[in-house]
Chain A
């Protein structure tokens, strides 16, 4: 018969190992994805892969320069639409949003961040693509902006709320108009954190496939025209992965690895940026 103390000790050991085991279980998919990607994708990395356009169907070789360029442009467009609206919306919520309307907006943003990305794609398809009668980079950018919006808005709000009121009062007491206090003191103090939020939103947008399928559509050519279909990494990975060509599969693996590395770099950058000088953790 075990006494009370021994029983407790055994419970402790069992619980602890159970937790540790689950952690490893959770890490298995992450590690195996990275492992598999590196194994199969790294071989596809070459100068041509990053700089050349896709070869015509049936020919081997060529690269994904169109997709890299396209992703950069689409994410850039998403930022151009999403960041100003998101940041200023966040400023409104933090500085003027202590009312009923603010509550509604906050709730709407939270709901929006849970909307499946394919829904956003279909929405933009009906609103923009059907109106313009064509797939376009513009529509893709708008779809990405809508996806980024709630994250950017809510992070901005949260970070501005962390700026102490004593700084706002210091500004007001110096006879600085409120809007200048918000721009020059509040936003500036919260800027590193807001930049982090933006980075994370960008990282998410860069990996989205669904909203681009019906909007930017994809293109095998290097196009800079915003009113024309445009290629992107996630869409091209999808197209190549479901194709019957072995060479395309290889390129899809390489592109997937490149995309993961890109997202990783953005996340690391975001973390570095939150570390304020002299605060080093």
Chain B
């Protein structure tokens, strides 16, 4: 958390600044902070469904090995935003985007970047748990390998490691051959997290991962996100401000397709710069 407080002094962010400007002076000067630089970034990212413009020129850095939360009322474009990061937005008929999405400084929307390869580096967990119903728990974890026609070295170790990371191992270690859909909702969601982690992604996108879960399962998944945040770069979409406050290091507030404000989570919740942010987090709308 000391890393968090050291970046508290970060200057306020202008909406249309390019991503590189968003790294605070402090971080730029200190080599030790280099690892916290932007793992991903978007520059003037806009997205449409047909003629509806869902996202308006969003520029946002995603820091390495940190949890970045996207908050905002329903329909503000949060989900669309992260679906642009792994190029899943473009599979919907009528959907398109403009602007740049960078992963390690490289544009992911160029010919050189195969979306299939990108999605193995940038994993995703969805709003509703969606394990494959025809596969066993074990094969669900290995789905990213097996269904792609690849075989990991030591699959059993990988299954155990991924399930342990997803805090599910103890509950399922004796029933690995049962169907993935035989688990409870919260377990299914952790299975989906394990499935994403089994590919050892660099970035993990989570689209309201707790919205279909009860409070106990939510607490487990949140605890998990908190732990994973030390090893993975995580972007989590949530409409729960409490959740953003609990699990994230950075928070961005989106409203009607605009990025209103982005700051460290502490700063955003205690000293919001924009009136709309303040209204939202104090519960005046949304």
A188-B148 in contact (CB<8A): no
- Report A-chain residues with C-beta under 8 Å of the C-beta of B86: 173
Interface string of B83-101 (1 = CB under 8 A from A): 0001010010100000000
Complex contacts, A191 vs chain B, CB 8 Å: 134
Q: Is A244 at the interface (CB under 8 A from chain B)?
A: no
CA distance A176 to B119 in the complex (A): 8
B105-125 near A? 1/0 per residue, CB < 8 Å: 000000000001111110110
Q: Inside 8 A of B147's CB, which chain A residues have their CB?
A: 171, 174, 176, 180-181, 184-185
Closest Cβ of chain A to B83, distance in Å, is: 9
A27 and B88 alpha carbons, distance in the complex (Å): 54
Convert A164-205 into 0s and 1s, putting 1 for each residue whose CB lies closer than 8 angstroms to a CB of B. Answer: 101101111111110011001100110100000000000000
Given the known A-B contacts A169-B88, A172-B88, A175-B119, are A185 and B126 also in contact in the complex, defined by CB atoms under 8 Å?
Answer: no
- A169-B91, A180-B148 as given contacts; A174 in contact with B134, CB under 8 Å: no
Consensus secondary structure, chain A interface: helix
Is B62 close to A, CB under 8 A?
no
Q: Which residues of A contact B126 (CB under 8 A)?
A: 166, 169-170, 173
B195 within 8 A of A: yes
Interface contact A170-B119, CB-CB below 8 Å: no
B118 nearest CB neighbor, chain A only: A175
Tell me whether B132 and A189 are in contact (CB under 8 A). Answer: yes
Query: Are the CB atoms of A180 and B130 closer together than 8 Å?
Result: no
Within residues 32 to 71 of chain B, which ones have a CB less than 8 A from any CB in chain A?
A: none
Cβ of A98 within 8 Å of any chain B Cβ, yes or no, is yes
B283 at the interface (CB under 8 A from A): no
| Residue B11 lies at the interface, judged by CB distance under 8 Å to chain A | no
Please count how many residues in chain A sit with their CB below 8 Å of the partner chain's CB atoms: 21
**Residues in B whose Cβ lies below 8 Å from that of A188:** 134
Interface 1/0 per residue, A192-236 and B, CB below 8 Å: 000000000000000000000000000000000000000000000
CA A185 to CA B126, docked complex, whole Å: 17
> Contacts A175-B117, A176-B116 hold; do A170 and B130 have CB atoms under 8 A apart?
yes
B143: Cβ under 8 A from any A Cβ: yes
**Residue B199 interfacial (CB < 8 Å):** yes
- Report how far A167 CA is from B180 CA in the complex, Å: 13
A174, B130: Cβ atoms under 8 Å? no
Contacting pair B130 A175 (CB below 8 A): no
B276 within 8 A of A: no
Closest 3 pairs between A and B when the two form their complex, measured CB to CB: A175-B120, A174-B144, A175-B119
Contact residues of B with A, CB < 8 Å?
A: 86, 88, 91, 93, 116-121, 123-124, 126, 128, 130-134, 143-144, 146-149, 179, 182, 192, 195-196, 199
Q: A173-B123, A174-B144, A189-B133 given. 8 additional CB < 8 A pairs?
A: A166-B130, A169-B91, A169-B126, A174-B148, A175-B121, A176-B147, A184-B147, A188-B134
Chain A residues within CB distance 8 Å of chain B: 98, 164, 166-167, 169-177, 180-181, 184-185, 188-189, 191, 278
Can you report 20 A-B residue pairs in the complex whose CB atoms are below 8 A from each other?
A: A98-B93, A164-B130, A167-B130, A167-B133, A170-B131, A171-B132, A171-B147, A172-B88, A172-B119, A173-B126, A174-B120, A175-B116, A175-B119, A177-B116, A180-B148, A184-B147, A185-B134, A189-B132, A189-B134, A278-B179
